[in-house]
Amino acid sequence: MTTKEIKSSFQEYASLDELSPEDRELATKAIRSMSHAYAPYSHFHVGAAVRMSNGQIVRGANQENAAFPSGICAERTAMFAAGAQYPDKYICSIALAGGVHGRLTDHPATPCGACRQVMAQYQARAGKPISVLMVGAKAIWKFEKVDDILPFIFNSI
Ligand code: THU
């Protein structure tokens, strides 16, 4: 038996000012998209923004439903919209931000497992890493590729 380790690294930024202009724009759009959330049940508003290979930014926000599983997260809203609008382009990066009643969390909100899996597939489709920016009021985390937040990605079919 051998014990193996999985390593993941990311950058932590103290504020939007520390980000590159491109990442700052994406993070800002994710924060602004929080106000587009429809979250009458959880009151947790999440905004997401996806940058495409043609430079276009597609935004999303979580959309809840009384039949709970019918709702969808901000990240998947943005990624699926991006895939549907620009089928011949690929996703380069995604940013997300969340908070209760629209107040940005201090600590970055992190994407759920289903959204990570969807990110992984768009990354595989692109054949290039998708960077993931998780935006909080007191810290911003940047992961260079989806593998860093989803080890052992399911890609067997
Ligand atoms: N949510 C997202 O939009 N993204 C995530 O990655 C996690 C959770 C939404 C789903 C639901 O509307 C609310 O946040 C509370 O879970």
pLDDT tens-digit profile of 97-149? 999 998 999 999 999 999 999 999 999 999 999 999 999 999 999 999 999 99
Assigned domain for 110 exists: yes
The model's pTM is 0.96
Assigned domain for 1 exists: no
Ligand 1 atom with the shortest distance to the CA of 48: 3
Assigned domain for 51 exists: yes
Mean pLDDT value of segment 84-94: 98
Assigned domain for 123 exists: yes
Ligand 1 atom with the shortest distance to the CA of 61: 3
Number of folded domains that form the chain: 1
Assigned domain for 143 exists: yes
**Residue 123 corresponds to which tokens in the numbers above?**
């990354």
Tell me, in angstroms, the distance from the centre of ligand 1 to residue 2's CA: 37
CATH of the domain at 23: 3.40.140.10
Assigned domain for 155 exists: no
Range of the domain at 87: 11-36+44-148
Question: What was the pLDDT predicted at 116?
Answer: 97
CB within 8 Å of 49: residues ≥ 6 apart: 26, 27, 29, 30, 33, 57, 58, 59, 60, 78, 94, 95, 96
Assigned domain for 156 exists: no
